[in-house]
Each structure stands twice: as C-alpha cells, then as structure tokens.
Amino acid sequence: MAWRRASVVVEGAAAEAVAEALEALGAVSTELADADAGTPDEDAIFAEPGADVGVWSRCALVALLPPDADAPAMLAAALEAAGAHALGEPAFDELADADWVAETQRQFEPIRAGERLWIVPTWHVAPDPGAVNIVLDPGAAFGTGSHPTTRLVLGWLERTVKGGETVLDYGCGSGILAIAAMKLGAARAVGVDIDPLALETARYNSRANAVALEVLAAEAPLEAVAEITVANILANPLRMLAPLLAAHTAPAGHIALSGVLAAQADEVRAAYAPWFDIAVAGREADWVCLAGARKA
C-alpha cells in the first residue's frame, strides 16, 4: 500500500492554518519546517508541536495523505480554506509503508544538548554510552530536543543542577526537561501541563528513562515548592504565569524561561522582576533563555 505525500511552501503566518485544514480533510500527519533553513529533502529541522512557526517567512509543509486521496485536490482545498497560496509549485509523491516509517524516524536523530546531555530516539544507539542519555519517543507533545528553545533549557539545567533538588517543569510537554533534571541528579521532579496527551507522553517517557517523574494536570492542586523551576512555553503565557511560578519557587531558587524571542525578552523579564533577578542566559537563532534567582 502506497501512501500519498504532498509538499508545499507557504507563508509562515499561514502554515498552521493550512496544516489544520489538511488534517480536517483527512491527512494522516503534517510536518512544518523553516523553508529558508533547507527543504525537508535537505534535512530541514521540523518544528516541534507548539512551536511558533509564524516567525518564519516561508514554511515548508509536508503532509502524509491516505492511499486513495486526490492529493492535488486535497491540498488545493486546504489552501483555499486557510486563505493561503502556494509559494512555488507543490510536489506530490508516494511512500510505501516501510518508507513512511523510515521517513518519520529520519526526522529524529540523536541530539547533543550540552556537554554531557544527549537526546536519543528509542530506535537509535546512544552515540556516547557514558553520557547522560535521555531516551525519547517523539510523540504528540512539545519537546524532542530539536528546537532551540528546548536545547537552551537543557544546557542551562546541565550547568545548574547540582544534585538533590526539587524541580518544577511547568508546561512539561514530553517531559524532557524534568527527565533531564532527574538524570542529572535532581531528587524530585514535577511536570505540569494542560494537555492530557502531553501528560500521557511524559509518563511514558519517564518510565522509559527509569525516573519517577510526577505528572499533574494544570487544573490539579500544585503543592510543590521547587529549588529549580523551568518553563518552556511562549512569551504571552509565561508573562501570565509569573505570579504562579514565583509562588512555587523557593527563595534563592533558580528559574529558566524559554520559548521567548529576543525581541520579547524585556517584556517577559519585566513580568518576573517583582520576584526574580533574571537576565538572558543563552541565545540560539532568534530565541533566548531567561534565567536567574528568586529574590529572598
């Protein structure tokens, strides 16, 4: 059985709407990548779920469609529904079942995320068995290590975790940050998310890494007070969460905030200024990580 695949470049601001329209019309899956950082056939870095693809000028969209789909008609309908248009000619081809699996796995290679940290998909052998290896099954939750926002916090955790801390990962997604903290020596980690699928993925990944990650829905009572708090979300929700994260970070505790564009850093920092002394602690491409300490 051959699955159909459609590839198109659209404006970044319209990409998510096109992807959602394709899925509503029956697409099995969609992937988005920065078209100016290489096409999917040139090993482009695909966006993680939750990433802000609107910051890209042009977005490469790849959709896997059912075997009986009229791929050109489905793509045309999705573009019309989203009020978008193709930048250049779309491409259409077919994938056999085995090729589909290989294509999916090809998007996720082992990623070095610091001096000692590696993110290793379950179908790969760890490049450095002596490193701190996080085994990860990429799923429908943000956090595979391929996005700069995730790597920035992972590097910060590697420098910050000394051992024995309680860690709060708010907006935990796949659980990657909390899992990394525990494998680096934290005594306890609590992951919080609004998405039930993310919570399920975080539980699965914590078991795969043999760590006891505590997972909570955002609406559940949160009692933990952490020495280390991390939140890799986006600037607007981070600003809204400032009082909550402050309440659950111990005096003199450390915090790292990611999902923030460089142009948004000052406004996020201002939202946390009543409780934290924070500054830019890392930058990759247009993204920054803000980090600092809770005021006494």
Examine the domain organization and report whether 102 and 127 are in the same domain. Answer: no
DSSP states of 141-182 as a string?
Answer: SS--S-SHHHHHHHHHHHHH--SS-EEEEET-TTSHHHHHHH
What's the total number of domains in the chain?
2
Which structure tokens are listed for 269?
């920092």
Which residue is it, tokens 């993680």? 48
Residue 103 pLDDT: 59
Q: What is the pLDDT of residue 23?
A: 83
Tokens linked to 234:
């986006």
Q: What is residue 99's predicted lDDT score, i.e. its pLDDT?
A: 56
DSSP single-letter state for residue 221: -
pLDDT at 146: 65
Q: Which pLDDT does position 153 carry in this prediction?
A: 96
229 in the same domain as 146:
yes
Cα 45-132-166 angle, rounded to 5 deg: 100
Judgement on whether residues 191 and 257 belong to the same structural domain of the protein: yes
136 contacts 122 by C-beta, under 8 angstroms: yes
Rounded Cα distance between 61 and 6, Å, is 8
- By residue range, what is the domain housing residue 249? 111-294
Q: Which of 106, 135, 161 is the last residue of a domain?
A: 106
Shared domain check, 86 and 57: yes
Query: What span, in angstroms and rounded, lies between the C-alpha atoms of 240 and 235?
Result: 9
Same domain as 290, residue 156: yes
Residues shown for the chain: 296
Do 85 and 160 reside in the same domain of the chain? no
Q: Alpha-carbon distance 158 to 132, whole Å?
A: 10
Domain boundary residue, one of 59, 77, 106 = 106
Going edge to edge, which strands form the sheet with 91-96?
29-34, 58-65, 2-11, 91-96
Neighbour tally for 271: CB within 10 Å: 19
Helix-then-strand count for the chain, H and E: 8, 14
Q: What is the pLDDT of residue 258?
A: 94
User: Is 8 in the same domain as 40?
Assistant: yes
Give the count of beta carbons closer than 10 Å to the beta carbon of residue 50.
19
Give the DSSP H/E element, type plus range, for residue 237: helix 235-247
Domain co-membership, 134 together with 277: yes
Whether 127 and 93 map to the same domain: the answer is: no
- pLDDT the model gives residue 88: 93
CATH of the domain at 102: 3.30.70
In the numeric block, the tokens 């955002």 are attached to 218
Kindly state whether residues 28 and 154 are assigned to the same domain: no
Whether 171 contacts 148, CB under 8 Å: no
The pTM of the full predicted model, rounded to 2 decimals, is 0.69
pLDDT of residue 138: 56
Q: Judge contact between 177 and 155, C-beta under 8 A.
A: no
Q: Chunked in runs of 10, what are the mean pLDDT values of the chain (296 residues)?
A: 87 88 84 69 41 70 89 95 93 75 64 87 84 76 68 95 98 93 98 90 92 96 96 92 98 96 94 97 91 95
Regarding whether 170 and 61 lie in a shared domain, the answer is no
CATH code where residue 196 lies? 3.40.50.150
Mark which of 91, 106, 121 sits at the end of a domain: 106
Partnered with residue 276 across adjacent β-strands are 294
Residues 158 and 55 both lie in one domain: no
